[in-house]
Amino acid sequence: MTNTATETDLTPIVDAYIASLQEQDAPARKALVEQAWAPEATLTDPLLYLRGHDELATFAPLLAEHYPGHSIRRTGDVDAHHNVFRFTWDMVNADGETVMHGIDVGIVADDGRIAGLAGFFDQ
């Protein structure tokens, strides 16, 4: 591995991922996905498993369908060591009220993007 999470500020990568979850324009969303994720990256959470840019780009429409009017926001700093990182997030409704907390734990690919991410719901 040529890159470690402690050598790279992962905040812009994580923020591109979070932004892709809010982006409803498909080409703009795909660009954010490609910025944040390695080509064969995986996302696993309690409700789904996605692999690769094309599948990862479907996450935002799925969220919008299941949670209309809600958005995701990062709530803490990105914490990292070696090639592992984590961050906390909230899902908020249209009134800005938190309806869910969570934490995501990920692996950094050699190119500095996300290789894999596992999401956990706290509430």
Domains of the chain: 5-121 (3.10.450.50)
Work out the number of other CB atoms within 10 angstroms of the CB of residue 28: 12
Q: Tell me, what's the pLDDT at 3?
A: 56
Mean pLDDT of 96-112: 96
pTM of the model: 0.91
Q: Is the pLDDT of residue 1 over 60?
A: no
User: Residues with Cβ < 8 Å from 83, sequence gap 6 or more?
Assistant: 1, 3, 4, 5, 107, 108
pLDDT in tens, 40-65: 999 999 989 999 999 999 999 999 99
CA distance 65 to 55: 16
Q: Tell me, what's the pLDDT at 54?
A: 97
Mean pLDDT of 31-44: 98
